Amino acid sequence: MARNLLEMRAITKEFPGVRALDNVNITVEEGEIHALVGENGAGKSTLMNVLSGVHPYGTYTGEILFDGQICQHRDIKDSERLGIVIIHQELALVPYLSIGENMFLGNEQQRRGVVDWDKTYEQAAEFMAMVGLDENPRQLVKDLSVAKRQLIEIAKALAKNVRLLILDEPTSSLNEAESQTILDLILALRDEKGITSIIISHKLNEIAYVADRITILRDGATIETLDNRGTTISEERIIRGMVGREMTERYPTRQSTVQDEVAFELRNFTVYHEQFTERKVVDNVSLKVHKGEIVGVYGLMGSGRTELAMAAFGRAYGSKISGTVIKDGEVLELTSIPEAIAAGISYVTEDRKESGLLLNSTITHNITLPRMDYVSQKGRIDQDLERRIAEEYRQALDIRAPNVDRLAGNLSGGNQQKLLLGKWIYSKPDVLFLDEPTRGVDVGAKYEIYQIINELAEEGKSILFISSELNEILGMADRIYVMNEGQIIAEFPGDGVTQEEIMSCIMQHSKGAVGA
């Protein structure tokens, strides 16, 4: 019988005005991959922050046993000394330091009080090899892809003699191939090195693939633990535990709202990289969006999807931009983001925390920020009007917070995403670019966001929907453009096309480009 490496008993954690964890119990067996799932705000990350010492002993009640010993971690250093290492969703790497410097930051390889750089880079290379990285350890982290940064975080954990590896949304920013690499590595670490892992993820197909057991949290409490060994647990079964009900449909139904009138068009749109100005990232793209239409844009990471949307949004990205932007039959010369907003175009960024929201500001301020002129008169903000409008949006979008004075950074991921949508809906756009609008949110919150998007289409808004989740594109879009290497390579109707057809189209185009 497997031995328990970790036991967390009756863990309760409160923040001002909210009980985040309510008598949570979880056991993790030595040498297993244990998944922790639940809706946004269920308490998953809070529980792992308690375990790792981010929330120190004394700020919660309950008991933690690791390897049979009671733990009272004062900080993250205490947990790391035991071999408990957490990799947060926002990776803790310093972009302008090298891989080797990052790997041993706070854990420097020293000789007589001086950093031994030869040993640092030599050992960095050894740990990098364990995770399949062959980059030069002296290379700066800023020049690496997100997938390689995630591998560096895992190599960094190995360098700390990890026994329990905690991964919080390790694949949320990765494409399918990169995600598979990470998942296979976690399996290999279990099978070859006996490393125990706890993985938090909203991608239930990945959970079903990698996890031995699955613990479900809901509203800060433990609901159940499912055994995924032998017979694979279905996604529907996991969802039922997460949301407390059956979800018969992942995507809300919508009657066709597409009108004949073309609301937005790009013609021969070309964009070059901001820094490497000889590198073309969008290559002669032409597309159309009708009124009331949801147009999906799908492509693998690096296909140019985000660069296309940002460049069209008042030249928010890129250099040497050429081509024509047309809205309602009129050619627009957009040279800035304020001009794009004034023209009725909005862009919901893929990164809500870095460039989407002001996390240290209130719900009120975040919602009204794009169009302060709507709540101002003679240069003065009408604060009562501002709060009333914010409260209307909070209720309409079901942003779960006690009031509009709550800081954006204190909201769950799903509620942050709804706030981000509310911010741009408030700007009263005719055309919305939605870039990964459900990234990092649970199935329940996704469904609510899909409903909001459908309602916008029903109002006659025109939506360009960018996603790296092909199922999502197929479930939501009226038409689909497929991008690869900066080009539109195919166009499909939303109904009838399969994942296999779209992926085959991309693979064939990539082969042709290599052959050329």
Same domain, 451 and 305: yes
Classify 461 as helix, strand or coil: coil
Is residue 284 predicted with pLDDT exceeding 50?
A: yes
Cα dihedral 409, 415, 417, 420 sign: negative
- Among 189, 211, 243, where does a domain finish? 243
Confidence of residue 116 (pLDDT cuts 50, 70, 90): confident
Question: Residue 167 and residue 170: Cα distance in Å, rounded?
Answer: 6
Mark whether 215 and 269 lie in a shared domain.
Answer: no
Residues 468-477 have a mean pLDDT of 88
pLDDT at position 516: 44
Cβ burial of 359 (10 Å; 0-12, 13-18, 19+) is middle
Does some domain include residue 350?
no
The answer to whether 475 and 437 have CB atoms below 8 angstroms apart is: no
Is residue 325 located within the same domain as residue 450? yes
Over residues 422-443, mean pLDDT: 88
Whether residues 375 and 511 fall in one domain: no
Q: Which among 308, 311, 318 has a CA at the least distance from the CA of 334?
A: 311
For residue 350, what are the CA distances in angstroms to 219, 339, 385, 421?
26, 21, 30, 11
Same domain for 297 and 255: yes
**E strands of 89-140, at which residues?**
110-111, 114-115
Q: Is the confidence at residue 173, as pLDDT, over 80?
A: no
In a domain, 185, yes or no: yes
Q: How many domains does the chain divide into?
A: 3
Q: Could you tell me the pLDDT band of residue 513, with boundaries at 50, 70 and 90?
A: low
What's residue 106's pLDDT? 79
> Are the CB atoms for 206 and 36 separated by under 8 Å?
no
Highest mean pLDDT range out of 397-406, 445-454, 484-493? Answer: 484-493
pTM for this prediction:
0.70
Nearest alpha carbon to residue 22 among 189, 274, 239, 223: 223
Is 413:202 a contact under the CB 8 Å cutoff? no
Residues 191 and 115 grouped into a single domain: yes
Average of per-residue pLDDT across 489-499: 89
**Higher pLDDT, residue 351 or 331:** 331
% pLDDT > 70, the chain? 98
**Domain closes at, from 201, 226, 243:** 243
Which pLDDT score, from 0 to 100, does residue 8 have? 96
CATH number at 476 reads: 3.40.50.300
CA distance 364 to 357: 12
Whether 248 shows a pLDDT value over 70: the answer reads no
d(CA 168, CA 333) in angstroms, rounded, equals: 43
Q: Is residue 510 part of a domain?
A: yes
The token pair that represents 56 in the structure block: 């120190």
Residue with tokens 């159309």: 288
Asked if 421 and 435 sit in the same domain, the reply is no
Query: Is residue 353 in a domain?
Result: no
Query: Which DSSP letter does residue 234 get?
Result: P
| pLDDT confidence band for 1 (50 / 70 / 90) | low
The Cα–Cα gap between 422 and 392 comes to: 10
**What does the pLDDT look like over 34-74, one tens digit per residue?**
999 987 778 898 999 999 999 999 999 999 999 999 999 99
Tell me if 509 is assigned to some domain: yes
- Between vectors from CA 354 to CA 349 and to CA 356, what angle results, nearest 5°? 40
Residue 227 within any structural domain of the chain: yes
Assigned token pair, 398:
């079901």
Last residue of a domain, one of 428, 460, 485: 428
User: Do 131 and 15 fall within a single domain?
Assistant: yes
Which residue range(s) make up the domain with 98?
4-243
**Do 215 and 71 share a structural domain?**
yes
Asked if 197 and 151 sit in the same domain, the reply is yes
Flag whether pLDDT at 514 surpasses 50.
no
Question: In the prediction, which pLDDT does 515 show?
Answer: 45
385: pLDDT strictly greater than 70: yes
